[in-house]
Amino acid sequence: MAHMTDAPKDTSHPLPDFDLDSFTPYRLAVAAKRTSEELARQYRERFGVSIPEWRVLVHLAHTGDGTSVKDIEGRVQLEKYEVSRTAKRLAEKGLIAKTAHASDRRLVQLALTDEGRSLMAELLPLAKAYQAEIERRLGSAFDGLEAGLDSFLGDDA
Amino acid sequence: MAHMTDAPKDTSHPLPDFDLDSFTPYRLAVAAKRTSEELARQYRERFGVSIPEWRVLVHLAHTGDGTSVKDIEGRVQLEKYEVSRTAKRLAEKGLIAKTAHASDRRLVQLALTDEGRSLMAELLPLAKAYQAEIERRLGSAFDGLEAGLDSFLGDDA
DNA sequence: GAATATTCGTAGCATTCGCAACGAAGTCAA
DNA sequence: TTGACTTCGTTGCGAATGCTACGAATATTC
């Protein structure tokens, strides 16, 4: 690609102005990272649970047991290989159990163990409190944020 | 850790309701990932530039040459080791040049090469167009989103 | 029923990430 | 000047990530 002389440094291309700080994808990325990390600190340090693990656990807590990897894929915005690996880790930690589906043995059934359930019984209220704190912090701006996010997520998630 | 009998499956803990889809950190994460990937496709495929690389390039295009790693750290929400590695890659690709600062030789000056400049001359209009498309897509919801994001980012970025 | 195609989940591999430790360069204090 | 301390940037290492290919189980077609 056009590798001209390196000598005359400036003048050549008067690059257009561009302010990263007002670039929506960047702003979303930073906001997402902040909230995720702020929350993740709570359950990473206290429970040793990562974000993908958290997502899978929430889904299992929400939809009940007997969910397959395929069911979770997409619903929590994880690729199937991520779900697979996450499930493996959660099983190793004793938080979920993996069993083969009775009639279709391609499917793997995921279910919270008792230990997983009691962990979620502690975690979910924390998450709810965090959500409440966000809403409080944003005040009247919260509804606008929600409406904006709806436009992005409208299709499927 | 408390691994009780696995037999009696439910009843034990009536877990609180929790809907991941309406959890703000999750919604932000998904929206961020979508926009980033949508944009990244454009410049990853066409220019072979990753997101951290893009951020560093934008910063250099915006603030002019002679910026140090330390200057960039924080401004584009990257850790210093990320900036360091990103700069290394960009230099290998010939998009930026790294030179030692004249008086303080701890500092490394980063500057776009001519090749980097012409790449940015192509990239920045693409990004601007994408921003315009987002604003068009969101319509009246855009302002609300901005206000909400401001509340998250208010402090420093 | 046999051959083919499809779905589900996993694993290999290379890359990237995150942390923490390090070396080099500079500053400060005596 | 010497020695302790700080700042800047890089790197080693283990873990996580993303892609792709693969094997097992099922569905489909003839």
Instruction: Give the least confident one: A32-41, A53-62, A138-147, B83-92.
Output: A32-41
Cβ neighbours for B83, distance < 8 A, ≥ 6 positions apart: B52, B56, B69, B72, B73, B76
Computed over every residue of chain B, the mean pLDDT equals 87
Q: What is the dihedral of CA B21, B23, B28, B30, to 10 degrees?
A: -30
The residue of chain A nearest to residue B24, with distances taken between CA atoms, is: A131
- What pLDDT does residue B34 have? 92
Among B4, B61, B115, beta carbon nearest to A18: B61
Structure tokens at A75: 């619903």
Q: pLDDT confidence of A9, banded at 50, 70, 90?
A: very low
Closest C-alpha to B66, from B114, B100, B31: B100
Among B4, B35, B62, beta carbon nearest to A18: B62
Q: pLDDT (tens digit, 9 = 90+) per residue, A72-84?
A: 998 999 999 999 9
- The nucleotide closest to B107 (CA, C1' atoms): D8
Closest C-alpha to B114, from A117, A1, A107, A143: A1
Question: For B72 and D11, how far is CA from C1' in angstroms?
Answer: 20
Model pTM score: 0.88
Among B18, B135, B152, beta carbon nearest to A61: B18
Question: For B41 and C15, how far is CA from C1' in angstroms?
Answer: 18
Whether A69 sits with its Cβ under 7 A from any strand C atom: the answer reads yes
Do A148 and B153 make contact, defined as CB atoms within 8 angstroms? no
CA B64 – CA B116 distance, rounded (Å): 12
Closest C-alpha to A113, from A87, A145, A76, A147: A87
- What pLDDT does residue A2 have? 39
Angle, in degrees to the nearest 10, between helices B24-47 and B114-138: 140
Contacts of B35 in chain A (CB under 8 A): 24-25, 28-29, 152
The sheet with strand A108-112 has its strands ordered as A67-68, A108-112, A96-100
Whether B12 sits with its Cβ under 7 A from any strand C atom: the answer reads no
* Disruptive mutation site among B151, B155, B156 for chain A (greatest number of A CBs within 10 Å): B151
Question: Is B8 a residue whose pLDDT tops 70?
Answer: no
- What pLDDT does residue B7 have? 42
Strand partners, A31: none
Q: pLDDT (tens digit, 9 = 90+) per residue, B38-63?
A: 888 888 878 889 999 999 999 999 98
CA B114 – CA B38 distance, rounded (Å): 27
Q: pLDDT (tens digit, 9 = 90+) per residue, A44-55?
A: 878 889 999 999
Whether B36 sits with its Cβ under 7 A from any strand C atom: the answer reads no
Closest C-alpha to A96, from A141, A62, A53, A41: A53
Whether B80 sits with its Cβ under 7 A from any strand D atom: the answer reads yes
Tell me the Ramachandran region of residue B110: left when phi exceeds 0, alpha when psi lies from -120 to 50, beta otherwise. beta
Report whether B47 contacts A51 (CB < 8 A): no
